[in-house]
Structure 1
Amino acid sequence: MAKKVKKHPDEMSFLDHLEELRWHLIRATIAVVAIGIIAFIFKETLFAVIFGPKDADFISYEILCEISKFFGAEKGCIADGEMDFVIQSRKVAGQFSAAIWTSIMAGVVLGFPYILYEFWKFISPGLYENERKTSRGFIVIASILFFLGAGFGYFVVTPLSINFLATFKISDAIQNEFDIDNYIALVRASVLASGLIFELPIIMYFLTKIGLVTPEFLRRNRKYALVIVLILAAIITPPDISTQVIVAVPIILLYEVSIFISRGVLRREKRRLKKQGLA
């Protein structure tokens, strides 16, 4: 049987590209499922991590309490030293379903570097050689940013949200008994959303490379970006100033880093054009 020779990107048809993309997606899915199976096997450890923020002695609460006091508020503190809620499963297959989907979520989070690797293998053949060289650390940097964001979501956004929702009551006659699916959805949304938000510098890098964004554009629209960041912080955090500031500050810093990265990309592009005698 003749060995199949991989075509050059310029020689590939639209259907060839779709076929190539399909195999990258298949390999990424297999990796997610494989990691998910391992996570399911060690589900006790997995759920010990998931349920960590529901305990009053979780490492983040004392730190967040001190930060809240610094801003003149104590909403980040746990009043009675314990969480006034329970997590329940009201469906026959509720816990089994939670274990399955949480394991898959763990597969996506832990397998993110490999997902990026498959994405990079798909787009890199279409790049110039110098672009591939300058983007060589893409997977490592993007993975680090994602895990930093996921950690921020787990250790900051999730505890703030749980503490607020667990202590909020419209009447003492109503007890907080959260369904396991809703609790896990809150943790999942906080972790994944924060992880993706922290990819902002990477997104700005590629937008600058294709000419959609410039440092001047980012600086000129800084005030609008600040408003968007504050709105975003208000959406993903409880409605008090201290927690919104805690969440907004890292995002603002990422925006400033994005301006620096965008400026660096344009400088390298100008040097490249100058060497080629095109500028």
Structure 2
Amino acid sequence: MSSEDEVVEAHKMPLLDHLIELRQRLLYSVIGLFVAFLVCFFFAQDLYNFLVQPLANILLAHGQGSDVFMHPENQPPPRMIFTDLTEVFFTYIKVAFFFAAFIMCPLFLTQIWLFVAPGLYKNEKKALAPFLIASPILFLLGAALVYFVLLPFAWRFFLHFQQPGGPETLAIQLEAKVDQYLALTMKLIFAFGLCFQLPVIMTLLARVGLATSQGMKEKRKYAIVITFILAAIFTPPDPLSQISLALPILVLYEISIQMARLVEKERAKREAELDREAGID
């Protein structure tokens, strides 16, 4: 056992001290989240407008109606509506909490690390630290894919279902509700962000021996089917959105296989070194 590992063993805390330490870390996280929430609530309207921007860009660019959508002379300017007096207020609260949690994610992960790191050995710290860094980055990539790629395509697809009114037909026109738009957008962001954690999860499973690269390769066909099923559940009911989620997940699955292979090679190398040291002893 190395000197650092001996220090870890010597400084192990009793259960009560662990609970006190946990309470302290949770308190820091809650205070940070509350402060960030207050700041985000002050800018809630701007933050909501940011989330609405992909839809606004399309509606304002087309006036909600070149021949792609409807005739502009037959309809009012683009808008969003609310049907409950408290709807906008509680929507802004949700927006503020959503962005506060996103902004404070590094703080949460730092508090988790400060809580568990003293009880980890040196090799365990080296193994866990990269995942704490990669996790928020992958979530951000998933959210960016939703905002910049999926939402413009999906909203354009759905807007094509509008139709102008006629002598014998009623107009079908979008009247987007404030809270429903936020719910759908947050659902997509969370779905993509969580799915982008796949390499982190699978690599951790490979490190503890619960998954292997060979096993993942053999189950690839099942993973494809499950991926498209999950994509159908978490995205709007159109093929474009489902494929937009399914394809990145499949790419991440292949990356997970390669990461698991690297973990196995590292483990085999470490075991070979231990065998050589044991042979020398």
TM-score, with length taken from structure 1: 0.78
User: How big is each residue's C-alpha offset from its partner over 1:211-265, in whole Å with a ceiling of 9 and x where there is no partner?
Assistant: 2111111111111111111112222334444443232211111001111111111
Q: 1:243 to 1:98 in 2, by over 3 A?
A: closer
Residue among 172, 190, 201 paired with 2:199: 201
Give, in whole Å, the separation in 2 of the partners of 1:34 and 1:41: 11
Q: Could you tell me whether the CA contact under 8 Å between 1:237 and 1:243 is conserved in 2? A: yes
Q: Which residues of structure 2 form unaligned runs of 5+?
A: 1-7, 62-66, 164-168
In 1, distance between residues paired with 2:116 and 2:71?
50
2: distance between equivalents of 1:140 and 1:35? 21
Q: How does 1:52-71 map to 2 (within 5 A)?
A: 52-57=53-58
Q: Counting helix residues as a fraction of each chain, which structure ranks higher?
A: 2
Bigger mean CA offset, 150-159 vs 246-255: 150-159
Query: Which residue of 2 is the match for residue 187 of structure 1?
Result: 185
Residue 184 of structure 1: CA displacement? 0.7
CA contact (8 A) 2:206 2:264 kept: yes
1:219 corresponds in structure 2 to 217
Quick one: structure 1 residues 176 and 209, their matched pair in 2 at CA, closer, same or farther if it must change by over 3 Å?
same
Q: Residues 242 and 158 (structure 1 numbering): CA distance in 2 closer, same or farther, change over 3 Å? A: closer
Deviation at 1:173?
A: 5.8
Q: 1:158 to 1:19 in 2, by over 3 A?
A: farther
Distance 1:109 1:81, change over 3 A: farther
Aligned to 2:166: none
What CA distance in whole angstroms lies between the structure 2 residues aligned with 1:7 and 1:20? Answer: 18
| 1:155-194 equivalences in 2 (<5 Å) | 155-168=148-161, 172=170, 175-194=173-192
Query: Aligned residue for 2:52?
Result: 51
- Counterparts of 1:1-279 in structure 2, within 5 Å, are 10-13=12-15, 15-57=16-58, 79-80=68-69, 86-168=79-161, 172=170, 175-277=173-275
1:85-135 Cα offsets, whole Å, 9 max, x none, are 742122222222211221110011222222222222333334321121233
CA distance in structure 1 between the partners assigned to 2:99 and 2:40 by the alignment: 7
Task: Report the CA distance shift for 1:140/1:81 in structure 2 as closer, same or farther (over 3 A).
Answer: farther
Per-residue deviation, 1:56: 4.2
Q: Is the contact made by 1:205 and 1:258 (CA closer than 8 Å) also made in structure 2? A: yes
Structure 1 gaps of 5+ residues are 1-5, 62-77
- Contact residue 215 and residue 259 of structure 1 kept, 8 A: yes
| Residues 1:44 and 1:274: Cα distance change in structure 2 (over 3 Å) | same
> Shift of residue 140 of structure 1?
2.5
Contact 1:157 1:236 in 2 (8 A): no
SS at match of 2:261: helix
**Larger Rg: 1 or 2?**
2
Pick closer, same or farther for the CA change 1:222–1:8 going to 2, 3 Å. farther
